[in-house]
Amino acid sequence: MEEPHIINTDENLLKVGSDEIAIKDFKSVFYQLTAKPDTTTRVFSRDVLVELEDIFLLNDRIIEKLRSYPEAGFLINVVVKFTNGKNKSFASWRAFSEHRWYESEAISNLVITWEFNAVLAQYKIPQKHTLTVKISNSMRPEELLSIIFSGNMEELDDLDKDFFPVVARVDFIDRILGDELLNIVAEWSKSLRDSSIERSPFILLMKKNKAKILTFLNFFTNILIMVASIVVINRYISTLEIVTLGEMSCNQMLAVINSMFICGAIWIFAQKFVSVLTDKIFEKLREYGQTCIFNITKGDKNRQQSLQKREKSSKIAVIANVSFTIFIDIISTVITTVLFKN
């Protein structure tokens, strides 16, 4: 008996329905005329060193991926911002690759944009995809939120860098292509060398928790100084041999009043002194960890050397000021303990 003919329906799982095609085609036209496509952003926080060859390598990988898709238009735009506020814009990759990097200024950030109209088999109209990669010496969380919610990377100014030297954003119609492009940037970021500027893990840990540490240090030091001053004043008053308040002589009363004023003055002076000391530590910690991730222009190389020296001086300053604060705490504790026992 002849077996019934089995129809393979698995291939239908790969097909896009006519209604979905129509919606996607309309969506593409609508986005091209009026709005933006869907957006995905990915950040990379590792402190890296980026050279010109790395930029070329990233472009080669992106182009290699895009070559697997027929295209109906392809543009590359590169914008370079320097630390002096000047910008250089390159309307094509050729213009960027032929530029001689003799600038004496260091690069602040570099933004590369690939605009690609992908011709996908299941859609009649080419689908525009835009990949934007920003490499920056300075990216703080506020900027990241601006990227995520506004999607406007070009408007970001370099502010206070701690976190995200590489940020990639893809605007897409086809999610598969968008994810593939972001994965290429992720793999590229992993291949970059670590920053050449040496940093102390301990100081970086203090920097990360600087507000909590310095608030505690300020409060604890002031408490110890207040307790030590009270113990000293009490010890002094006890030497006056005052039996009762009614039997106090004029000199004894003046001595008590003066000691109270001196104690108050010590508290006020100590509070301001410790505040200045912790503020100095805070400022040094805030400055610590600055980096120059670019190694392209002459200015980049000079900046790396300058930051390396600054890192050492900031480290010494932080350790010295913290040690001095701890020394004050120890002295206050010793005074309190010795006088209290006696």
Q: pLDDT tens digits, residue range 112-126? A: 999 988 776 666 677
- Residue 314, CB-side half-sphere exposure with 13 Å CA sphere: 24
* pTM of the predicted protein model: 0.65
How confident is the prediction for the chain on average, in pLDDT? 79
**Gyration radius of the chain's alpha carbons:** 32
Q: Is the pLDDT of residue 55 over 50?
A: yes
* Tokens encoding 251: 């000199």
**Higher per-residue confidence, 268 vs 163:** 268
Q: Is the pLDDT of residue 27 over 60?
A: yes
Q: Is the pLDDT of residue 98 over 80?
A: yes
Q: What is the structure's pLDDT at 18?
A: 66
* Tokens encoding 234: 């009490």
Q: Which of 110, 205, 204 is nearest to 166 (CA)?
A: 110
Q: Is the pLDDT of residue 140 over 60?
A: no
CA angle 177, 182, 183 (to 5 degrees): 95
The mean pLDDT of 200-220, rounded to a whole number, is 86
Q: What is the structure's pLDDT at 145?
A: 58
For residues 6, 10, 15 and 20, what is the CA-based torsion angle, rounded to 10 degrees?
100
Q: What is the structure's pLDDT at 6?
A: 46
Highest mean pLDDT among 96-100, 175-179, 233-237: 96-100
Q: Is the pLDDT of residue 201 over 60?
A: yes
What is the DSSP annotation of 274-285? HHHHHHHHHHHH
Q: What is the structure's pLDDT at 35?
A: 43
Q: What is the structure's pLDDT at 14?
A: 45
